[in-house]
Amino acid sequence: MADDASIRPARDLSIPRHDWTLEEVEALFARPFMELVFEAASVHRRWFDPNEVQKSQLLSVKTGGCAENCGYCSQSASFKTGLKAEKLMEPTAVIAEAMAAKAGGASRFCMGAAWRELKDRDTPKLAAMISGVKALGLETCATLGMLNADQAKQLKEAGLDYYNHNLDTGPEYYAEVVTTRSYQDRLETLQHVRDAGMSTCCGGIVGMGEKRRDRAGLLHALATLPVHPDSLPVNALVPVGGTPLGERVLKEGEIDPIEFVRTVAVARLVCPKSMVRLSAGREGMTPEMQALCFLAGANSIFVGGKLLTTPNPEEDDDAKLFALLDLKPMPLKIEARA
Ligand code: SAM
Ligand code: DTB
Ligand code: SF4
């Protein structure tokens, strides 16, 4: 006769949970690859149309000269990367770029600034950009470094839908990546963003020399947040010459593409209702690799020929990719939250 354990139905992986343990997340990474991708693809279908991919477009509205020392970043003033620092763009110029992004098929426009934290003197200009972009009928996103509670409220009032603030890696590897801020600093800004009623965009970077345990640590941190990120960007490190982590990867080689796909699949499993974004690094990925990522649950990308400071596939390349894989752009809707 069957004992209790064998008749108990297997846990439904598609229901969002916030009580993941690190060991459980590591166990997902260790699943046979075919099983892992199949399970992630099944969960993806439970919440989303697997043929739909959402498109966001980035613009660097304040480039370079950043006070943080993130070891991967072209924009940190701590490293000689050859990038020219620029001042904050004028709202009219930003709105013109957003119009072009909309014409190119983007449904969300993300404004990025190379700041450690937002300064109150810059908020009016940011608010003008945000409300102008919102008035075009685009979803708005910004990534401006740390925010306090008041600043988060002001950005929300200006019409900001999403705030991007990445945890980047697992807590144990964090100090190898950046020392000018802490994991706790990041978590506090995310709390202010949620308290202000904005949606969160929060993920990390894969391929910085971290171990699988650190990738599991990142996804564990995201899956145990009070609210799962609405968008979860999985970036592949774009190695930038002159940055410590970029130089290291240029010397030691990039992460195994299959391990990257595993990370996407585990992200889909631990945050089943999040939009998982195949983010930086697509420029170096074959169509086959991107297809595997979409199969494993990625359902969002950055479009347009440039990310913030580095190249991204051009509109024509992505049109070909979508045609090849029978993908269609996701219609505009505010995403479900876990
Ligand atoms: N300064 C703000 C911040 O760090 O939160 C916003 C801009 S920052 C460039 C946004 C995110 O881009 C970072 O958190 C990081 O995850 C990602 N990123 C930056 N440089 C990258 C690179 N070379 N490769 C992959 N992702 C990168
Ligand atoms: C995210 O996770 N990736 C985007 C966006 N959020 C802001 C940024 C990628 C930047 C890649 C390096 C660059 O272009 O400077
Ligand atoms: Fe500054 Fe953001 Fe780059 Fe870090 S990732 S150096 S905070 S721009």
Mean pLDDT of the chain: 95
Sign (positive or negative) of CA dihedral 312, 181, 226, 35: positive
Pairwise CA distance, residues 18 & 271, whole Å: 9
Compute the distance from residue 117 Cα to the ligand 3 centre, in Å. 10
Q: pLDDT value at position 12?
A: 86
- From the number of C-beta atoms within 10 Å of its C-beta (0-12, 13-18, 19+), residue 213 rates as middle
Tell whether the model's pLDDT for residue 184 goes beyond 60. Answer: yes
**pLDDT tier, 333 (very low <50, low <70, confident <90, very high otherwise):** low
Residue tagged active-site, from 108, 110, 271, 282: 110
| In contact, 71 and 249? CB cutoff 8 Å | no
Tell whether the model's pLDDT for residue 335 goes beyond 90. Answer: no
Measure CA of the first residue to CA of the last residue in the chain; give whole Å: 39
Compute the distance from residue 69 Cα to the ligand 3 centre, in Å. 7
Q: Amino acid identity of 17? A: R
Compute the distance from residue 67 Cα to the ligand 1 centre, in Å. 13
Compute the distance from residue 40 Cα to the ligand 1 centre, in Å. 26
pLDDT tens digit sequence for 308-331: 999 999 999 999 999 999 999 998
User: Which is the closest atom of ligand 1 to the Cα of 165?
Assistant: 5
Residue tagged active-site, from 108, 141, 186, 262: 141
Pairwise CA distance, residues 77 & 83, whole Å: 10
333 vs 253, which has greater pLDDT? 253
Pairwise CA distance, residues 173 & 210, whole Å: 7
Told to judge if 271 belongs to the known catalytic residues of this protein, a careful annotator would answer no
User: Which is the closest atom of ligand 3 to the Cα of 145?
Assistant: 7
**Taking the domain 20-326, which CATH number applies?**
3.20.20.70
Told to judge if 201 belongs to the known catalytic residues of this protein, a careful annotator would answer yes
Q: Amino acid identity of 37? A: V
Biggest CA–CA distance in the chain, Å, is 73
Which percentage of the chain shows pLDDT scores above 90? 93
pLDDT tens digit sequence for 62-88: 999 999 999 999 999 999 999 999 999
Beta bridge partners of 76: 66
Q: pLDDT value at position 332?
A: 75
Compute the C-alpha angle 282/260/62, nearest 5°: 45
Q: 238 CB less than 6 Å from ligand 2? A: yes
Pairwise CA distance, residues 214 & 204, whole Å: 11
What pTM value is reported for the model?
A: 0.95
pLDDT tens digit sequence for 192-244: 999 999 999 999 999 999 999 999 999 999 999 999 999 999 999 999 999 99
**pLDDT tier, 337 (very low <50, low <70, confident <90, very high otherwise):** very low
Pairwise CA distance, residues 107 & 91, whole Å: 19
Tell whether the model's pLDDT for residue 166 goes beyond 70. Answer: yes
In SS3 terms, 252-316 reads as: HCCCCHHHHHHHHHHHHHHCCCCEEEECCCHHHCCHHHHHHHHHCCCCEEEECCECCCCECCCHH
pLDDT tens digit sequence for 41-50: 999 999 999 9
Q: pLDDT value at position 133?
A: 98
pLDDT tens digit sequence for 148-160: 999 999 999 999 9
Q: Does the annotation place 141 within a ligand binding site?
A: yes
In the predicted model, what is the mean pLDDT of residues 241-267?
95
Q: pLDDT value at position 5?
A: 44
Told to judge if 202 belongs to the known catalytic residues of this protein, a careful annotator would answer no
Q: pLDDT value at position 157?
A: 98
